[in-house]
Amino acid sequence: DVVLTQSPATLSVTPGERISLSCRASESVDTYLHWYQQKPNESPRLLIKYASQSISGIPSRFSGSGSGTDFTLSINGVELEDLSIYYCQQGNSLPTFGSGTKLEIK
Amino acid sequence: QVTLKESGPGILQPSHTLSLTCSFSGFSLSTYGMGVSWIRQPSGKGLEWLASIWWNGNTYNNPSLKSRLTVSKDTSNNQAFLKVTSVDTADTATYYCAHTRYRYNYFDYWGQGVMVTVSS
């Protein structure tokens, strides 16, 4: 199995900040790395596909980068509605998810 | 517009078989490249992919659950199914079905989830 390690586990933020979340794969997944947002008591929502491709309807402040084993999800100007748990997921082999990064208010 | 909705028993006893149904609209599981995946999430914990079924009938299961999983589909009625045998308390979770595209393996539409509790 490809293990995805997300860091940090929790990130305390101030609204308006630019932040970066990390996802590291135990082996190369090329760019088959996708990001999801999950708000409390809601289903996950696809944010970014193929490491950096945007999804229709997702605010432009969300962006992704990386390839191989190291990936980053950035939020340019965090808003209160962004307080969620963010998961990365690889699709290069049988799917696996990272353990998530929780965004909370500082 | 793609929508999916899971249904299931709510609660069942240990050692029994869990049967879940995913009813969907907006796509066909007979169309090339279309798939439905099952993902679960214990309360307060992370996401775990369980299985996927594809338009051509191929299925893939999470090897950590060994042979306990069976996925199937009813293309005519736009439904997919998941069976989990020999359940125990560790299978207590919210179970989601999600639309998946072949080879790309991302989950772009999700159901609302169904909570399943295993308890005697």
Q: Residues B9-32: pLDDT tens digits?
A: 999 999 999 999 999 999 999 999
**Reduced to 3 states, what is the DSSP secondary structure of residue B65?**
helix
pLDDT at A83 over 90: yes
Q: Do B110 and A100 touch (CB under 8 A)?
A: no
pLDDT, average across residues A6-14: 96
CB contact at 8 A, A89 and A104: no
pLDDT, average across residues A50-68: 97
Cα distances (Å, whole numbers) of residue A85 to B19, B54, B62: 29, 29, 23
**Closest Cα in chain B to A94:** B62
CA distance A102 to B24: 30
Q: What percent of chain A has pLDDT over 90?
A: 98
Give residue ranges of B with CB < 8 Å to any A CB.
Answer: 37, 46-49, 52, 60, 62-64, 96, 104-108, 110-113
Q: In sequence order, what are the beta bridge partners of B106? A: none
**Closest Cα in chain B to A30:** B104
CA-based nearest residue to B62, from A38, A26, A2, A34: A2
pLDDT at B76 over 80: yes
pLDDT at A66 over 80: yes
A45 contact B CB<8A: yes
DSSP string for A25-56: ESS--TT-EEEEEE-TTS--EEEEETTTEE-T
